[in-house]
Amino acid sequence: MKKQPWGFYGRKEELAQLRSILQRKRWFFLKVAGRRRIGKTSLVQEARAFDDKRPLVYIQIPDSDPSGVLSTAREFYDMFGIKKFELKDLRSFAASIGTLIEEGNIVAIDEFQYFHRQALSEFASHLQYEVDRIARRADKVKGGLIVLGSIHTEMAALLEDRGAPLFNRITDEMELPHLDIASIMEILRTHADTEPERLLFLWNLFEGIPKFYRDCYEQDTLAATRRDLLKKMFFTSSSPLRNEAENWFLRELHGRYDLVLKYVAAHPGSSHSDLMAHLLTTGSGSDKQIAGYIKVLRDRYRMIERLQPIFAKEKERNGRFYVRDNFLRSWLAALSVPVASTNFKPLDPLVEEADRRLAEAEGHGLERLAHTLYEERSRKAVGDFSLTKNISGYWDKSGTEIDLIALNEDDKVIRFGSCKRDAGKLVGGLSLFDGHIARFLERKQGEFGSWKKEKVAISPRLDAGHRKAIERKGYIPQDLNDLSAGLK
């Protein structure tokens, strides 16, 4: 069968927004933010189809000092055939950008967050001068400026803090999320298959990061077995994703932040006390230092998140920590140690061990995927449940654990869900799960007394026997085929 060419998947809303900005044919200053590899640059390239008359000049800023930035800028200018600027310092670099925009070019500056570094911080003031000068004659300037960045707090500090030189200068902004499930299903339909086990495996590993699916496509592994994909993408010296996580977060982090990440990745749902106790036993610092590590990872880098049970207030102490990014969680929990051991141990057993660890991590991945599917289906008016509140779980000190709680407050319907990767264990645990639901409703003291109550049992794949057994226990059977049906 002829290999289908790779396309541009999803991002229809973002493309429409970018197209609207470009069609103004006047000055704009656009911020595009999102995690590394999420597709920021590809989105800008795709949007060029809407506006191919104005030249695009792209510059990727290195994490370097002023001389390194200027050297890189000269190289990009040479690549675009721009020879007229003498870049002596950051001021002349900013001036060159202003000139290019005035001449009708669109200038895209990638990794813009590095200008928050102390050594480069003066650039923002120089760019402010150029932006203000252009904005005063915006109707006559046909060019525009796009800044792209991957560290939320540093982008915010450069563009949104009241004391920042570029505060209140951007005309438009976009935050790129992961690809939705419908887009991932389109990729799988085109280049592999939509079997539920493959969807869970790939989503738990890559979530909605288009670059990683593209890498697998280039290596002919999207349709491969789990272990063949892992071996080719992570375990050989030429594997494209072998160093991805290390290059992503270790270049940004210093000190003992990785200890926090590794523990939370291996123990999703850790409490604050669990995390503190572990780190104190490893000699990772004082309570105050550890709290600082957690704050930086949560607020600055958005690598971990603290989730609360449904209806809980933010400051209540029963929150649980999770690694936000599936790829980072899978790398730390399942792949990093086996991959690092390839120089000392036989390859195939290491791949087998990584696959086993990933299968364990897919238990939590299935819960996240079910939540994501419920929310996407509701947003697109697909399926049988309309949400009025974000999907959440519930837990308390008595041991009550509910994987999924969905609310339709308009029609007064509450739905409880149990998620298990193993369909047999799912069926066998439903009677016990009934007790968790009963304790939740008792604790809410009749708050949902008049509501319709529904129960669902979710696994990647359910056969006819599993479905009948689930229905006999009063539950609605749902597998990933059911939950992904109708998504376009």
In order, the DSSP letters of 72-96 are: HHHHHHHHTT-------SHHHHHHH
Task: Report the distance separating Cα 178 and Cα 325, nearest Å.
Answer: 10
Q: Which pLDDT belongs to residue 453?
A: 96
Residues 6 or more apart from 284 whose CB is under 8 A from it? 256, 259, 290, 293
Q: Would you say 159 and 170 are in contact if contact means Cβ atoms under 8 Å apart?
A: yes
What is the mean pLDDT of the segment spanning 195-207? Answer: 97
Task: Report the distance separating Cα 314 and Cα 254, nearest Å.
Answer: 28
Which tens digits make up the pLDDT trace of 50-80? 777 789 999 999 999 999 999 999 999 999 9
* Residue 253: inside a domain: no
Q: Would you say 386 and 411 are in contact if contact means Cβ atoms under 8 Å apart?
A: yes
pLDDT band at 444 (very low <50, low <70, confident <90, very high): confident
Q: Would you say 368 and 326 are in contact if contact means Cβ atoms under 8 Å apart?
A: yes
Q: Which pLDDT belongs to residue 315?
A: 79
The residue among 126, 149, 175 that closes a domain is 175
* Residue 126: inside a domain: yes
Q: Would you say 209 and 329 are in contact if contact means Cβ atoms under 8 Å apart?
A: no
Q: 113 in helix, strand or coil?
A: helix
The size of the chain, in residues, is 488
What is the mean pLDDT of the segment spanning 239-263? Answer: 77
pLDDT band at 290 (very low <50, low <70, confident <90, very high): confident
Task: Report the distance separating Cα 90 and Cα 98, nearest Å.
Answer: 13
pLDDT at 335 > cutoff 90? yes
Q: Which pLDDT belongs to residue 322?
A: 95
Higher pLDDT, 78 or 258: 78
What is the average pLDDT value for the chain, to the nearest integer? 93
pLDDT band at 252 (very low <50, low <70, confident <90, very high): low
* Residue 252: inside a domain: no
Which tens digits make up the pLDDT trace of 125-149? 999 999 999 999 998 999 999 999 9
In order, the DSSP letters of 265-323 are: HHSTTB-HHHHHHHHHHTT---HHHHHHHHHIIIIIS--EEEE--TT--TTSTT-EEEE
In order, the DSSP letters of 366-417 are: HHHHHHHHHHHHHHTT-SS---SS--EEEE-TT--EEEEEEEETTTTEEEEE
Report the b/e string of 157-176 with b at 16+ CB within 10 A: bbbeeeebbbeebbbbebeb
* Residue 402: inside a domain: yes
The residue among 175, 205, 236 that closes a domain is 175
Percent of the chain with pLDDT over 70: 97
Q: Which pLDDT belongs to residue 304?
A: 92
Q: Which pLDDT belongs to residue 317?
A: 82
What is the mean pLDDT of the segment spanning 343-349? Answer: 95
* Residue 211: inside a domain: no
Q: Which pLDDT belongs to residue 480?
A: 98
Q: Which pLDDT belongs to residue 24?
A: 87
In the numeric block, which tokens belong to residue 426?
């799912």
Task: Report the distance separating Cα 311 and Cα 309, nearest Å.
Answer: 6
In the numeric block, which tokens belong to residue 162?
């009241």
Q: Which pLDDT belongs to residue 74?
A: 97
Q: Which pLDDT belongs to residue 281?
A: 83
Q: Which pLDDT belongs to residue 76?
A: 97
**For the chain, how far is it from start to end, CA to CA, in angstroms?**
25
Neighbouring C-beta atoms of residue 348, cutoff 10 Å:
11
Neighbouring C-beta atoms of residue 255, cutoff 10 Å:
13
Which range scores top for mean pLDDT: 283-297, 355-369, 438-452?
355-369
Here the CATH number for the domain that contains residue 16 is: 3.40.50.300
Q: Which pLDDT belongs to residue 148?
A: 96
Q: Which residue has the tokens 């999803």?
A: 10
Helix, strand, coil content of the chain in percent (nearest 5): 50, 15, 35
* Residue 53: inside a domain: yes
Q: Give the DSSP H or E segment for 340.
A: helix 336-340
What is the mean pLDDT of the segment spanning 418-443? Answer: 97
In order, the DSSP letters of 174-192 are: EE--PPPHHHHHHHHHHHS
* Residue 450: inside a domain: yes
* Residue 64: inside a domain: yes
pLDDT at 307 > cutoff 90? yes
pLDDT band at 81 (very low <50, low <70, confident <90, very high): very high
Here the CATH number for the domain that contains residue 465 is: 3.40.1350
Number of folded domains that form the chain = 2
Residue 212, phi-psi category: left (phi > 0), alpha (psi -120 to 50), beta (remainder)? alpha
Give the global pTM. 0.92
Tell me which residue range forms the domain holding 422.
386-484
In one-letter notation, the amino acid at residue 286 is: S
pLDDT band at 287 (very low <50, low <70, confident <90, very high): confident
User: Cα dihedral sign for 468, 473, 475, 480?
Assistant: negative
Task: Report the distance separating Cα 481 and Cα 461, nearest Å.
Answer: 7
In the numeric block, which tokens belong to residue 224?
């491969």
The residue among 175, 202, 226 that closes a domain is 175
State the burial class of residue 488 (Cβ atoms within 10 Å of its Cβ: 0-12, 13-18, 19+): exposed
